[in-house]
A and B are shown apart, each in its own frame.
Chain A
Amino acid sequence: MNTRRSWKSNNISVLSAGIKFLEESANVWVFSENIASSVENCDAFITKLVDQLDELGWQGRDEFGIRMAMEEAIMNAIEHGNQNDPNKKVAIFVRLTPLQFLAKVTDEGEGFDPLKVPDPTLEENLSQPSGRGVMLIKQYVDVARYNAIGNKVELSKTNTSTQSNLNGDHA
């Protein structure tokens, strides 16, 4: 009798694990493509990204933040990295779940030192009509990390609304 109960219990456990796995794979969006350097390609990617953000429950400031960070990162890659050369590609990788956003944006340019970009929020730079892209990327995600030569940026962000639901918070 005990053996039988144990067998049943184990099968439920296996079944539950299977469902959990299926749920997780249905809630993951992975994008990995090399796009030619053009505004149209950037727009097409952003449209797909925004659809997936909506689909996976990202909203408000979190959704805006990811869109801002990715748009600025890709446009920087196209304009500054690849110098608008349509023969040069921007490699975009994204892994998105309801809880976590991870991305890598790589261009074929010579890179730059993000530490040498003047702080656009200093009073003397406020009226400069340039130089806010890198600051905004860092502002809108939890982590923005450039590689050594500065032609690749890795981004990550946690969905604060999903996080607060998991923590049982109520707005």
Chain B
Amino acid sequence: MNDFQCLELVNMENVAIIKFKDEKMTDPARIEQLGLELLALADGESQPNLEINFDNVRFFSSAAMNKLIVLEKRIRSRGGSLRLSNLRPEVRDLFGYTKLDSIFQIEESQPESH
């Protein structure tokens, strides 16, 4: 229904579950587009509740994280919620190192397989 270039809508019920189409988010133009699409999604609901499923994200840059920070602020200002799920261990580390796991709700996935 929505013509997103960077996002894939998986579910649109109580919580909109979205995935990133790109395995790596590093190209500034794609990241800019991603930011616009995330905000459009948040602004499309009176009280946006989003879950971003990271299961196909292998690499995430600081510029892409910045877009999530802007999104989190927007959603919070509108009384909604944002959850991040299915992060690979390396990507989860990124949120820990930056201490952004204190502002994002992160669904912890199963322990790393050995």
Q: Which residues of A contact B (CB under 8 A)?
A: 39, 42-43, 46, 60-61, 64, 67-68, 71-72, 75, 79, 120-121, 126-130, 132-133, 135-136, 139, 171
Contacts and interface: CB of A to CB of B under 8 A. Distances in A.
Query: Most chain-B Cβ atoms within 10 A of its Cβ — which of A71, A129, A130, A139?
Result: A129
* Shortest Cβ-Cβ A-B pairs, 6 listed: A129-B66, A64-B90, A132-B62, A121-B99, A129-B69, A139-B97
Nearest to A137: B62
B12 interface: no
Nearest to B58: A64
Chain B interface, >50% SS class:
helix
Contacts, number: 61
B27 A39 contact: yes
Given A75-B61, A121-B98, A126-B102, A60 B69 contact: no
B97 A126 contact: no
A48 to B, nearest CB: 15
Interface in B28-85: 28-29, 59, 61-63, 65-67, 69-70, 72-73
B73 to A, nearest CB: 6
B63 to A, nearest CB: 7
B97 A71 contact: no
Contact of A127 (B28, B73, B97): B73
Given A39-B27, A127-B73, A127-B103, 14 more contacts: A39-B26, A39-B28, A43-B26, A43-B27, A68-B61, A75-B61, A75-B63, A121-B97, A126-B99, A129-B70, A130-B66, A132-B65, A132-B66, A133-B62
Contacts of A127: 69, 72-73, 103
Contacts of B89: 60-61
B10 interface: no
A135 B59 contact: no
Nearest to B27: A39
A61 B93 contact: yes
